[in-house]
Structure 1
């Protein structure tokens, strides 16, 4: 548009457009004319009623758009028109346009006050869904809110969490990017930078945005921009070696054929309006003769620009004087008007780019538009064109519903009704039809159902970018089913050629490397949530997914593996029979029992000898029996604890050891009593004969049996899984049940041992060659030393070592008894038989 600086001393000049016509926008306007002609020739839609139109060029300028909006809202006077034979005052029923969100916003604020409906084919700003501010606005293209959600899901789908963002500094770009950033935040996507620019900004501003893109660490750039703005940014990036970036585009620019000439954008992915087919449109667009072109100043300018020639034949231009508009006129018939133009004006804008006139050759009439290759003749990718086409039909259906009535066989339209724009507005809310297989309806916000194709810029065999459909996004489907990728995608350009990758190998764009399972994310101070460090999970916790925000503990009986990305069942530990330690202890235990049995056999064989008879053979055999049980009871401590084994191992140990100590105690008492009996007048042995000795052993043992029974009845030992001693494994052990019961058993054994030790010490110097008191003293000394050391070792030994310590104490004390008491006697019996005589026995030292 030609800009003029006003000095406010003279009236401002009229606004004028400069530059070249945009062929794509011209195609939109011609598609609108094509739709109107289809409707005017239809026998089903508005039969007998002709629609008129008027096209305005907004130059993509808000001032021009506002000027025309006021012009349309004012209406026009009645004038007689001989061709149409009808009279009409030029009231506007509806407006089609604008192509941009910002001009559409400005227009809607003006004409909305007059209830004039506006249907846009290309204004996508989500703000226009606000019916409080834009009550009469409708559109056939989805709102940017849906587009923003689709782009955010697209970015999330490919695992990009660190992106850059650029936008047009306009209502379209600012509102669209705001919606995208909100959706990206919900998806956990971080934005490294967000820059805005506009095509009229100084070049230094656009260069600064380009430099931000070059210096960024993010590989992916989401651009929510108008094609005209994007062109300036890409040109700036193309001056130096362009940075390798994966472009994600909004539908406004990603489908623009002009921008596909930037080869470094190959691999760009974005959303696009659904590709459509409009039967007959291509022929209509290409069926232009020079005479038709000469009849329109717009087509003449397009023709001259496309073929770079000048039309010089006599031209009849369709000229619109300043502040005048072409109208459809009618004649008055009493108080009624016969409408030949119920829909007499459709507003449309042709965006223009800046340019300069060139010296052109004269057109010679051989120019063939069918051989022309530009956006006007490109009809293989009809997207926005179909939106304009549907907008015309939406207005036509609204007028049809307002003035037409369907009878049984025919459709009758009342041509004499005085139609008001407010009626068209009311009917537009209710339109619901399909055209060429594409559905048209509006929700309460004036928006259609959102459906996007996902498109990708791919290099063709000719080396040029082509738009290829790779999926779709359907907002009408349930969550999780809206987004689909159908084919492989060509990704960003790498040096001179485009990398065609499989789905599982896409460009990476993240602030930090993904945290593998077994680690958790810890945010870096002062940086976005996508910038983090990976910290290994603490002991006992795992994370089993990538980029886990936290670690969680394994279940009670589970433990992490070495990588801490999975839990496995903790190994159960107990002193099993197949372990080396268990085998050694079992072998020693059996050897001890065998030794006791062999000793008993020796004693039994030499039972008539003096050394056996002098040392109380009955208690000796009972002691050997109890020692055998002591050795064997250690075997009950090996193997997996069970309910019965737990009760057996402790009670068997307690009872057999009391039996053993009782026998030793009995032998000690016998030695003392025997010495006392040798004194003149002392007859003490009659009070401690064999019967009393047996009763002593039974009595002491019975007390231990009672203690064990009480322990088992009140709170018996039970097998438990010890999860606290070791975090990484389970100790299967026997819980004591009642600690008082356990220590009562041990305490009673200790009490008897101390008592026996004291008596043995008292009798150790008695003058008798076969005095057992000395050996009993040594054995009790060993016994007490073993069990005194057992207590701290038992308490501090973890896991199965606790059981091993207990077995060792049993075996050590048992071997101490059998070796100290019986080994010297067996040695004399077997190797020094000369000392096994009564004479030697009676001989005093």
Structure 2
């Protein structure tokens, strides 16, 4: 008795346009009761019976042509089918492998649709073509394994069901990404681990000294995994990322226009960047999107025109084309560096391809659609008896005449993985049946027969107290119970676990932080207050505005140098104060940008000294006002204190005290560039470490002391008789100053990252502008708008 073992291969939807059609399968070597009756449904594929690779399939009803025209075909993937058929043919013709057993297969098209993939998988584990879950009446056809798919999502959908029945799946595409919803699904990957490619790409970049690169990835989990895998390693070796762009999923529905607009933005980013090397990671058909690049340059929205780029393409991608891209230019790929899967040309495969045509091949539900769309011809309609418009397909068309993006005569890497998968299963089954023959064979009537039992690979039974803890969690032993009984708790903030059943979660490195699911680490972004961001630009703009305003005030006073209002209250102090305020505004620019050694040394010390000079000038002006009124009293001895000597001495003495504090600070524990990796989640903050915090607050406290002293003196002198008593304006300016710096301390302590710097810049601008506005705006009003009030008589109030 001859049995048949079935393999099933699931492919992405771009492979073919096969539809569900009515068909009848017959085999002249089997009795009539094995026929499939007309009207039975079979998904377009190949069926093997009784030792024959492909039994003839007589289609009683062809798919309507209108339906077929709605599909887009990647003709190059048709070689995957032929590689599978060739491998099965070799095994069945080899008497050394699986004697008396026939290896057959079905081919299902997933249509890149989860619902259809699940439906096809349920058909596999039910009675042939009758969806009755868990019910199989035909033990002649035993499902032994599934090969596929090329898309990792297809593999996950299939494995979700196959895992219940312990049916193995051999994948030849990208390794699927597991998460807490799909733990431990059975996969056997035919292609090498992708981590080897990442090392190869890094070696290539370092060899050519391409340290500034762009990255194009698919907008899916595989693309994100690629970035997570290479970012840290590449960065440690000095490779920087100019940009990371995500390729949208290829679509021909109503979202095509949206996808095209995304493509224009990506093209503009890629071509506008000065990064010459471009690493492209995607699935087998991602290259189709990249092929649009030369044509996007013709659209009005595109700013950057094409320029030379070196593409570095990962092995999963293939140089393929949709049929509408037949005549498109491939200049973009000239000089591209592509990794490739290992491949080989088995003997006889090329002649097998040369002999393939739609008239000699039986049982292939894909070949006519492939032939029609690849060669641009039509087949006569055998049902209606007429001929469709167009060139007639004769079967004389040659596959070897097709360009490489449409079909290759040598076996590709993906096809070779399928070929190896079939042989791996063949040898595994041969070893399994050889073992069973020794243990389960029984003699009945002198004839040796195998027990007629279905296969699936018996599952190992489980006996556990608690379910496994998935990645992202750890075990917590239950009190009063054995250690094998535990609860699963999510990893705390800052920790992760990438394996099952861990006792404790691990910390990410300082350069990384845990994902939301706590099952892997994500590289941190580098953060500092820069001119390129809105906050930095806004603060720099405010600084420029106040600098210009201060210069205008200084120019106005110099223009009216000899007028009474300028000479009042010591004009030399006024000029020193204005210049000090100008330098204070300019000091804020030291706080913006990437911290360096020089800027860190000058930030606090330069501002502390300059601002102390400004406050000292205000104090000197206030004391001068008090002494001036005291000197007007009869018999007063204060006249000898009046003059420039006292004012200059006050400014010099008060400023030198702050200089001394800063000298001690710089000589003992000066500020320096530092990296804060813990304050802000997900960011590496570049900052200036203040060194000795005590000295920092000493410098700040000294400025506060001068301000309070100035405020007290000005407050006492605010009601002295004079038509222009400057003390009341100084009083108000000191109220603003003290209010700003008192609120600075809690704001500084509660802020994190670059916002600490922003708080300090804002405080400097606010306090300096308060002095400028409160003290000088009344004088500027008189100088510019009311010049008649600028005379001596108006400045003296009679008592």
Regarding TM over 0.5, the answer is: no
Greater relative contact order: 1 or 2 (C-alpha under 8 angstroms, separation 6 or more)? 1
Bucket of the pairwise TM-score, normalised by the shorter protein: 0.3 to 0.5
Q: With the length of structure 1 as denominator, give the TM-score of the two structures.
A: 0.40
Give me the TM-score of the superposition, normalised by structure 2. 0.42
The structure with the largest alpha-carbon Rg is 1
